[in-house]
Structure 1
Amino acid sequence: MTKYIKPFFTANPELESMKPTADIERLMMHLNPELNNIKTYNDQIINYNTNKVRQCFLLHKGSVSLYRMVDGMVLNTESAPYVFGMSTQLTHADYLYIRVHDAAEISMLSIDRANEIIEEHNLWKNLAYLLIYTATRVYDHCTKISALTSYDVIRYQIYELMSETESVRRSVTIAKYVQDRTFLSRSSIMKILAELKKGDYIVTDKGMLVYINHIPLKY
Protein backbone atom coordinates (compact mmCIF):
# COMPACT_ATOMS: atom_id res chain seq x y z
CA MET A 1 0.00 0.00 0.00
CA THR A 2 1.29 3.44 -0.89
CA LYS A 3 2.15 5.61 2.07
CA TYR A 4 -0.64 7.95 3.14
CA ILE A 5 0.08 11.55 2.16
CA LYS A 6 -1.01 14.29 4.53
CA PRO A 7 -3.32 17.15 3.51
CA PHE A 8 -1.55 19.75 1.43
CA PHE A 9 -3.12 23.13 2.04
CA THR A 10 -3.05 23.58 5.75
CA ALA A 11 -0.55 25.50 7.81
CA ASN A 12 -0.80 22.74 10.39
CA PRO A 13 -1.34 19.26 8.91
CA GLU A 14 -0.88 17.75 12.38
CA LEU A 15 -3.92 19.54 13.83
CA GLU A 16 -5.61 16.33 14.94
CA SER A 17 -2.47 15.25 16.82
CA MET A 18 -2.60 18.55 18.76
CA LYS A 19 -5.90 17.63 20.37
CA PRO A 20 -5.60 18.54 24.09
CA THR A 21 -6.52 15.04 25.24
CA ALA A 22 -5.16 15.44 28.78
CA ASP A 23 -7.17 18.63 29.32
CA ILE A 24 -10.33 17.04 27.92
CA GLU A 25 -9.89 13.99 30.15
CA ARG A 26 -9.42 16.20 33.21
CA LEU A 27 -12.63 18.05 32.41
CA MET A 28 -14.46 14.76 31.92
CA MET A 29 -13.10 13.34 35.18
CA HIS A 30 -14.64 16.19 37.19
CA LEU A 31 -17.88 16.30 35.19
CA ASN A 32 -18.35 12.53 35.20
CA PRO A 33 -19.92 12.02 38.69
CA GLU A 34 -23.03 14.00 37.76
CA LEU A 35 -23.57 12.67 34.24
CA ASN A 36 -26.61 10.94 32.80
CA ASN A 37 -25.80 8.26 30.23
CA ILE A 38 -27.54 8.33 26.84
CA LYS A 39 -28.45 5.16 24.98
CA THR A 40 -27.17 5.69 21.45
CA TYR A 41 -27.51 4.06 18.04
CA ASN A 42 -26.02 4.71 14.60
CA ASP A 43 -27.26 7.91 12.90
CA GLN A 44 -29.03 9.05 16.07
CA ILE A 45 -29.63 12.80 16.28
CA ILE A 46 -28.99 14.51 19.61
CA ASN A 47 -30.21 18.05 20.26
CA TYR A 48 -28.59 20.49 22.66
CA ASN A 49 -31.87 21.13 24.46
CA THR A 50 -33.51 18.48 26.65
CA ASN A 51 -36.77 19.48 28.31
CA LYS A 52 -35.85 23.11 27.55
CA VAL A 53 -32.55 22.75 29.44
CA ARG A 54 -29.31 23.42 27.56
CA GLN A 55 -26.99 20.40 27.75
CA CYS A 56 -23.29 19.60 27.64
CA PHE A 57 -22.31 16.24 26.10
CA LEU A 58 -19.32 14.06 26.88
CA LEU A 59 -18.14 11.60 24.24
CA HIS A 60 -16.51 8.61 25.98
CA LYS A 61 -16.30 6.22 23.02
CA GLY A 62 -16.87 6.36 19.26
CA SER A 63 -17.26 9.38 17.02
CA VAL A 64 -19.93 11.96 16.21
CA SER A 65 -20.41 14.92 13.87
CA LEU A 66 -21.65 18.42 14.55
CA TYR A 67 -24.28 19.58 12.02
CA ARG A 68 -25.79 22.96 11.22
CA MET A 69 -29.56 22.67 11.46
CA VAL A 70 -30.51 25.11 8.69
CA ASP A 71 -28.82 23.20 5.86
CA GLY A 72 -27.49 19.97 7.36
CA MET A 73 -23.85 20.90 6.74
CA VAL A 74 -21.22 19.12 8.83
CA LEU A 75 -19.06 21.62 10.72
CA ASN A 76 -16.87 19.21 12.65
CA THR A 77 -16.32 15.52 13.32
CA GLU A 78 -14.74 14.35 16.56
CA SER A 79 -13.74 11.06 18.17
CA ALA A 80 -13.58 10.29 21.88
CA PRO A 81 -12.64 11.77 24.23
CA TYR A 82 -14.43 15.04 23.64
CA VAL A 83 -16.78 17.53 25.26
CA PHE A 84 -19.51 19.15 23.15
CA GLY A 85 -21.56 22.18 24.11
CA MET A 86 -19.10 24.38 25.95
CA SER A 87 -18.16 26.41 22.88
CA THR A 88 -21.73 26.82 21.62
CA GLN A 89 -23.63 27.71 24.77
CA LEU A 90 -24.32 31.27 23.56
CA THR A 91 -25.74 30.16 20.20
CA HIS A 92 -29.41 29.35 19.68
CA ALA A 93 -30.09 25.84 20.96
CA ASP A 94 -31.69 24.80 17.65
CA TYR A 95 -28.81 26.07 15.50
CA LEU A 96 -26.71 22.89 15.82
CA TYR A 97 -27.22 19.21 16.46
CA ILE A 98 -25.07 16.11 16.93
CA ARG A 99 -25.30 12.91 14.88
CA VAL A 100 -23.89 9.62 16.18
CA HIS A 101 -21.76 7.62 13.72
CA ASP A 102 -21.26 4.27 15.40
CA ALA A 103 -21.54 2.55 18.78
CA ALA A 104 -20.77 5.72 20.70
CA GLU A 105 -20.90 6.16 24.46
CA ILE A 106 -22.28 9.57 25.38
CA SER A 107 -23.39 11.18 28.63
CA MET A 108 -24.76 14.59 29.45
CA LEU A 109 -25.38 17.20 32.11
CA SER A 110 -26.73 20.72 32.01
CA ILE A 111 -24.50 23.51 30.77
CA ASP A 112 -25.21 25.48 33.94
CA ARG A 113 -24.00 22.63 36.16
CA ALA A 114 -20.97 22.05 33.94
CA ASN A 115 -19.99 25.71 34.33
CA GLU A 116 -20.42 25.45 38.10
CA ILE A 117 -18.15 22.38 38.29
CA ILE A 118 -15.52 24.10 36.15
CA GLU A 119 -15.63 27.07 38.52
CA GLU A 120 -15.49 24.87 41.65
CA HIS A 121 -12.42 22.96 40.47
CA ASN A 122 -10.69 25.84 38.65
CA LEU A 123 -10.73 24.05 35.29
CA TRP A 124 -10.67 27.21 33.21
CA LYS A 125 -7.24 26.51 31.73
CA ASN A 126 -8.34 23.04 30.64
CA LEU A 127 -11.53 24.49 29.17
CA ALA A 128 -9.54 27.18 27.34
CA TYR A 129 -7.42 24.53 25.59
CA LEU A 130 -10.57 22.66 24.57
CA LEU A 131 -12.15 25.85 23.19
CA ILE A 132 -8.99 26.82 21.29
CA TYR A 133 -8.84 23.38 19.70
CA THR A 134 -12.55 23.42 18.82
CA ALA A 135 -12.36 26.89 17.27
CA THR A 136 -9.27 25.93 15.29
CA ARG A 137 -10.93 22.79 13.93
CA VAL A 138 -14.00 24.69 12.75
CA TYR A 139 -11.92 27.56 11.33
CA ASP A 140 -9.65 25.09 9.54
CA HIS A 141 -12.69 23.45 7.96
CA CYS A 142 -14.27 26.73 6.89
CA THR A 143 -11.10 28.05 5.25
CA LYS A 144 -10.78 24.86 3.24
CA ILE A 145 -14.24 25.07 1.66
CA SER A 146 -14.22 28.75 0.69
CA ALA A 147 -12.38 30.64 -2.07
CA LEU A 148 -11.10 27.38 -3.58
CA THR A 149 -11.85 25.45 -6.73
CA SER A 150 -14.22 22.49 -6.54
CA TYR A 151 -11.25 20.20 -7.07
CA ASP A 152 -9.31 21.76 -4.15
CA VAL A 153 -12.29 21.34 -1.85
CA ILE A 154 -12.87 17.71 -2.86
CA ARG A 155 -9.17 16.90 -2.56
CA TYR A 156 -9.08 18.29 0.95
CA GLN A 157 -12.25 16.46 1.98
CA ILE A 158 -10.88 13.13 0.73
CA TYR A 159 -7.81 13.58 2.91
CA GLU A 160 -10.08 14.55 5.80
CA LEU A 161 -12.06 11.35 5.28
CA MET A 162 -8.85 9.33 5.23
CA SER A 163 -7.96 10.75 8.64
CA GLU A 164 -11.30 9.68 10.15
CA THR A 165 -11.65 6.47 12.14
CA GLU A 166 -12.11 3.26 10.19
CA SER A 167 -15.69 2.93 11.42
CA VAL A 168 -16.52 6.35 9.93
CA ARG A 169 -14.85 5.53 6.61
CA ARG A 170 -16.82 2.29 6.38
CA SER A 171 -20.13 4.00 7.09
CA VAL A 172 -20.20 6.71 4.43
CA THR A 173 -19.41 7.06 0.74
CA ILE A 174 -16.88 9.65 -0.38
CA ALA A 175 -19.58 11.52 -2.30
CA LYS A 176 -21.87 11.82 0.72
CA TYR A 177 -19.01 12.78 3.02
CA VAL A 178 -17.99 15.61 0.68
CA GLN A 179 -21.55 16.76 -0.03
CA ASP A 180 -22.42 16.91 3.68
CA ARG A 181 -19.50 19.25 4.31
CA THR A 182 -19.59 21.52 1.28
CA PHE A 183 -21.94 23.38 -1.06
CA LEU A 184 -20.84 21.36 -4.07
CA SER A 185 -23.37 19.55 -6.22
CA ARG A 186 -23.39 15.77 -6.28
CA SER A 187 -22.77 15.75 -10.04
CA SER A 188 -19.58 17.82 -9.78
CA ILE A 189 -18.35 15.64 -6.91
CA MET A 190 -19.03 12.42 -8.81
CA LYS A 191 -17.30 13.74 -11.94
CA ILE A 192 -14.07 14.50 -10.10
CA LEU A 193 -14.19 11.25 -8.09
CA ALA A 194 -14.59 9.29 -11.32
CA GLU A 195 -11.46 10.94 -12.74
CA LEU A 196 -9.49 10.25 -9.55
CA LYS A 197 -10.50 6.59 -9.59
CA LYS A 198 -9.72 6.31 -13.31
CA GLY A 199 -6.23 7.64 -12.66
CA ASP A 200 -5.73 5.23 -9.72
CA TYR A 201 -5.23 8.19 -7.40
CA ILE A 202 -7.74 6.75 -4.92
CA VAL A 203 -9.05 3.24 -4.27
CA THR A 204 -12.69 2.76 -3.33
CA ASP A 205 -15.08 -0.05 -2.48
CA LYS A 206 -18.78 0.52 -3.12
CA GLY A 207 -18.13 4.25 -3.11
CA MET A 208 -16.27 4.20 0.21
CA LEU A 209 -12.64 5.25 0.54
CA VAL A 210 -10.13 2.41 1.00
CA TYR A 211 -6.88 4.33 0.62
CA ILE A 212 -5.14 7.14 -1.21
CA ASN A 213 -2.27 6.59 -3.59
CA HIS A 214 -1.66 10.26 -4.37
CA ILE A 215 -3.97 13.07 -5.38
CA PRO A 216 -2.32 15.67 -7.63
CA LEU A 217 -2.41 19.34 -6.68
CA LYS A 218 -4.00 20.36 -9.95
CA TYR A 219 -6.93 18.91 -11.89
Structure 2
Amino acid sequence: MIEPPERPAAAMARLISVLTPLGKTIEISARKRLTWDNGGKPSVYVFLEGELSISRITDGILVGTVTEPHIFGFSEMFYPLRGNILRAETRCLISAIENHKVEQAMERHALWRDVAEVLSFHTNTMLYRDLQIVNQRTFPVVCYYLQELNRLPEETKERVNILSYIQERTGLSRSSILNIISSLKTDKFIDFKRGGYSLQVYGLPDEP
Protein backbone atom coordinates (compact mmCIF):
# COMPACT_ATOMS: atom_id res chain seq x y z
CA MET A 1 0.00 0.00 0.00
CA ILE A 2 1.52 3.31 -1.10
CA GLU A 3 0.93 6.15 1.32
CA PRO A 4 0.18 9.68 0.10
CA PRO A 5 3.26 11.93 0.07
CA GLU A 6 3.92 14.02 3.16
CA ARG A 7 3.59 17.77 2.71
CA PRO A 8 7.03 19.44 3.04
CA ALA A 9 5.85 21.81 5.75
CA ALA A 10 9.26 23.22 6.72
CA ALA A 11 10.30 23.92 3.12
CA MET A 12 6.92 25.44 2.36
CA ALA A 13 7.11 27.69 5.43
CA ARG A 14 10.58 28.97 4.53
CA LEU A 15 9.56 29.76 0.97
CA ILE A 16 6.36 31.49 2.05
CA SER A 17 8.23 33.56 4.64
CA VAL A 18 10.83 34.79 2.16
CA LEU A 19 8.71 35.20 -0.97
CA THR A 20 5.43 36.66 0.32
CA PRO A 21 6.85 40.13 1.16
CA LEU A 22 8.30 40.36 -2.37
CA GLY A 23 4.89 40.12 -4.03
CA LYS A 24 1.64 41.95 -4.32
CA THR A 25 -1.19 40.52 -2.22
CA ILE A 26 -4.39 40.24 -4.22
CA GLU A 27 -7.90 39.08 -3.40
CA ILE A 28 -9.50 36.56 -5.73
CA SER A 29 -13.28 36.16 -5.67
CA ALA A 30 -14.86 32.70 -5.58
CA ARG A 31 -14.90 30.78 -8.90
CA LYS A 32 -12.49 33.20 -10.54
CA ARG A 33 -9.63 31.71 -12.56
CA LEU A 34 -6.04 32.84 -12.33
CA THR A 35 -3.50 32.57 -15.16
CA TRP A 36 0.26 32.32 -14.67
CA ASP A 37 0.78 35.87 -15.94
CA ASN A 38 -0.31 38.39 -13.34
CA GLY A 39 -0.76 41.70 -15.11
CA GLY A 40 1.17 40.32 -18.05
CA LYS A 41 4.15 39.34 -15.90
CA PRO A 42 4.99 35.64 -15.32
CA SER A 43 4.57 35.02 -11.60
CA VAL A 44 4.78 32.53 -8.78
CA TYR A 45 1.77 32.52 -6.46
CA VAL A 46 1.87 32.12 -2.70
CA PHE A 47 -1.57 30.96 -1.62
CA LEU A 48 -2.35 32.46 1.77
CA GLU A 49 -6.04 32.04 2.58
CA GLY A 50 -9.19 30.39 1.24
CA GLU A 51 -9.62 27.31 -0.93
CA LEU A 52 -7.85 26.99 -4.27
CA SER A 53 -7.98 24.32 -6.98
CA ILE A 54 -5.74 23.51 -9.92
CA SER A 55 -7.19 22.06 -13.14
CA ARG A 56 -5.87 20.79 -16.45
CA ILE A 57 -6.60 23.15 -19.30
CA THR A 58 -6.98 20.40 -21.91
CA ASP A 59 -9.97 18.63 -20.36
CA GLY A 60 -10.89 20.66 -17.27
CA ILE A 61 -10.13 17.79 -14.87
CA LEU A 62 -9.55 19.10 -11.36
CA VAL A 63 -6.30 17.60 -10.13
CA GLY A 64 -5.99 19.07 -6.65
CA THR A 65 -7.42 21.43 -4.04
CA VAL A 66 -5.59 23.17 -1.20
CA THR A 67 -6.70 25.04 1.90
CA GLU A 68 -3.35 25.32 3.70
CA PRO A 69 -0.75 27.93 2.68
CA HIS A 70 0.91 26.70 -0.49
CA ILE A 71 3.04 27.79 -3.45
CA PHE A 72 2.32 27.36 -7.14
CA GLY A 73 4.28 28.28 -10.22
CA PHE A 74 7.78 26.83 -9.90
CA SER A 75 7.18 24.31 -12.69
CA GLU A 76 5.75 27.05 -14.90
CA MET A 77 8.74 29.27 -14.12
CA PHE A 78 11.31 26.66 -15.18
CA TYR A 79 9.32 25.05 -17.98
CA PRO A 80 6.36 27.20 -19.07
CA LEU A 81 4.09 24.52 -20.50
CA ARG A 82 1.10 26.32 -18.97
CA GLY A 83 -1.03 23.18 -18.97
CA ASN A 84 -2.76 24.00 -15.67
CA ILE A 85 -4.90 26.83 -14.38
CA LEU A 86 -5.77 27.95 -10.86
CA ARG A 87 -9.33 28.57 -9.64
CA ALA A 88 -10.56 30.08 -6.40
CA GLU A 89 -13.23 27.88 -4.82
CA THR A 90 -13.86 30.50 -2.14
CA ARG A 91 -12.58 34.02 -1.61
CA CYS A 92 -8.79 33.71 -1.61
CA LEU A 93 -5.78 35.82 -0.73
CA ILE A 94 -2.70 35.31 -2.88
CA SER A 95 0.69 36.98 -3.10
CA ALA A 96 1.87 37.24 -6.71
CA ILE A 97 5.65 37.45 -7.07
CA GLU A 98 7.28 38.11 -10.44
CA ASN A 99 9.52 35.27 -11.59
CA HIS A 100 12.72 37.31 -11.69
CA LYS A 101 12.23 38.30 -8.03
CA VAL A 102 11.67 34.67 -7.09
CA GLU A 103 14.86 33.60 -8.86
CA GLN A 104 16.86 36.33 -7.12
CA ALA A 105 15.48 35.31 -3.71
CA MET A 106 16.24 31.65 -4.36
CA GLU A 107 19.89 32.51 -5.00
CA ARG A 108 20.20 35.04 -2.18
CA HIS A 109 18.60 32.83 0.49
CA ALA A 110 19.76 29.40 -0.81
CA LEU A 111 16.22 28.14 -1.33
CA TRP A 112 16.92 25.62 -4.08
CA ARG A 113 16.49 22.58 -1.84
CA ASP A 114 13.17 23.92 -0.57
CA VAL A 115 11.97 24.49 -4.13
CA ALA A 116 13.07 20.95 -5.06
CA GLU A 117 11.11 19.53 -2.12
CA VAL A 118 7.95 21.38 -3.19
CA LEU A 119 8.33 20.24 -6.81
CA SER A 120 8.93 16.66 -5.65
CA PHE A 121 5.83 16.83 -3.47
CA HIS A 122 3.72 18.03 -6.41
CA THR A 123 5.09 15.28 -8.66
CA ASN A 124 4.52 12.52 -6.11
CA THR A 125 1.05 13.82 -5.27
CA MET A 126 0.09 13.47 -8.92
CA LEU A 127 1.64 9.99 -9.06
CA TYR A 128 -0.32 8.93 -5.97
CA ARG A 129 -3.54 10.32 -7.44
CA ASP A 130 -2.98 8.47 -10.72
CA LEU A 131 -2.36 5.20 -8.90
CA GLN A 132 -5.80 5.54 -7.31
CA ILE A 133 -7.79 6.27 -10.45
CA VAL A 134 -5.95 5.44 -13.71
CA ASN A 135 -7.06 2.12 -15.22
CA GLN A 136 -9.25 1.46 -12.19
CA ARG A 137 -12.86 0.38 -12.24
CA THR A 138 -15.49 3.04 -11.61
CA PHE A 139 -16.49 1.75 -8.16
CA PRO A 140 -13.09 2.08 -6.43
CA VAL A 141 -12.52 5.47 -8.08
CA VAL A 142 -15.82 6.80 -6.71
CA CYS A 143 -15.02 5.36 -3.27
CA TYR A 144 -11.59 7.00 -3.31
CA TYR A 145 -13.13 10.43 -3.86
CA LEU A 146 -15.89 9.80 -1.34
CA GLN A 147 -13.21 9.13 1.25
CA GLU A 148 -11.29 12.23 0.17
CA LEU A 149 -14.39 14.41 0.38
CA ASN A 150 -15.28 12.92 3.76
CA ARG A 151 -11.94 14.10 5.19
CA LEU A 152 -12.70 17.73 4.38
CA PRO A 153 -14.00 20.11 7.08
CA GLU A 154 -17.74 20.00 7.75
CA GLU A 155 -18.25 23.57 6.53
CA THR A 156 -16.70 22.58 3.19
CA LYS A 157 -18.86 19.48 2.86
CA GLU A 158 -21.95 21.59 3.48
CA ARG A 159 -21.33 23.57 0.29
CA VAL A 160 -19.75 20.87 -1.90
CA ASN A 161 -22.01 18.69 -4.01
CA ILE A 162 -20.89 15.04 -4.04
CA LEU A 163 -21.64 14.46 -7.71
CA SER A 164 -19.86 17.63 -8.85
CA TYR A 165 -16.87 16.88 -6.63
CA ILE A 166 -16.32 13.45 -8.17
CA GLN A 167 -17.20 14.39 -11.74
CA GLU A 168 -14.84 17.38 -11.81
CA ARG A 169 -11.95 15.19 -10.69
CA THR A 170 -12.56 12.10 -12.81
CA GLY A 171 -14.62 12.87 -15.89
CA LEU A 172 -16.86 9.88 -15.04
CA SER A 173 -20.41 10.05 -16.33
CA ARG A 174 -23.10 11.51 -14.12
CA SER A 175 -25.17 8.32 -14.26
CA SER A 176 -22.34 5.99 -13.24
CA ILE A 177 -21.49 8.14 -10.21
CA LEU A 178 -25.13 8.53 -9.16
CA ASN A 179 -25.77 4.79 -9.42
CA ILE A 180 -22.89 4.03 -7.05
CA ILE A 181 -23.59 6.71 -4.44
CA SER A 182 -27.30 5.89 -4.46
CA SER A 183 -26.53 2.21 -3.86
CA LEU A 184 -24.07 3.05 -1.08
CA LYS A 185 -26.64 5.25 0.61
CA THR A 186 -29.33 2.59 0.34
CA ASP A 187 -26.98 0.09 1.99
CA LYS A 188 -26.15 2.69 4.68
CA PHE A 189 -22.44 2.93 3.88
CA ILE A 190 -22.83 6.68 3.38
CA ASP A 191 -25.37 9.39 4.04
CA PHE A 192 -25.90 12.93 2.79
CA LYS A 193 -28.44 15.70 2.83
CA ARG A 194 -30.93 16.48 0.09
CA GLY A 195 -29.16 17.70 -3.04
CA GLY A 196 -26.03 15.66 -2.33
CA TYR A 197 -24.40 17.78 0.37
CA SER A 198 -22.87 17.14 3.82
CA LEU A 199 -21.46 13.70 3.03
CA GLN A 200 -20.94 11.26 5.89
CA VAL A 201 -19.03 8.00 5.29
CA TYR A 202 -19.55 5.13 7.72
CA GLY A 203 -17.35 2.59 5.93
CA LEU A 204 -17.06 1.55 2.30
CA PRO A 205 -17.07 -1.99 0.83
CA ASP A 206 -14.24 -3.27 -1.32
CA GLU A 207 -16.67 -4.41 -3.98
CA PRO A 208 -20.12 -3.17 -5.09
TM-score (norm 1): 0.88
SS of residue in 2 equivalent to 1:87: helix
Which of residues 2, 11, 34 is equivalent to 1:11? 2
SS of residue in 1 equivalent to 2:54: strand
- 2:206 paired with 1:217: yes
User: Letter of the aligned partner of 1:91 in structure 2?
Assistant: P
2:57: which partner in 1?
Answer: 69
| Structure 2 contact 38–96 (Cα < 8 Å) conserved | no
Runs (5+) with no aligned partner, structure 1: 1-9
Q: How far apart are the structure 1 equivalents of 2:80 and 2:25?
A: 24
2:85: which partner in 1?
Answer: 97
| Structure 1 contact 76–141 (Cα < 8 Å) conserved | no
| Structure 1 contact 102–168 (Cα < 8 Å) conserved | no
Q: How far apart are the structure 2 equivalents of 1:63 and 1:26?
A: 21
Which of residues 26, 45, 56 is equivalent to 2:33? 45
Q: How far apart are the structure 2 equivalents of 1:91 and 1:144?
A: 27
User: Letter of the aligned partner of 1:87 in structure 2?
Assistant: S
SS of residue in 2 equivalent to 1:88: helix
Q: How far did 1:50 drift?
A: 2.5
SS of residue in 2 equivalent to 1:57: strand
TM-score (norm 2): 0.92
1:156: which partner in 2?
Answer: 144
Q: How far apart are the structure 1 equivalents of 2:31 and 2:56?
A: 15
Q: How far apart are the structure 1 equivalents of 2:65 and 2:52?
A: 6
SS of residue in 1 equivalent to 2:76: coil
State the number of aligned residues. 206
Alpha carbons of structure 1 residues 105 and 215: separation in structure 2 relative to 1, 3 Å? same
Q: How far did 1:70 drift?
A: 1.8
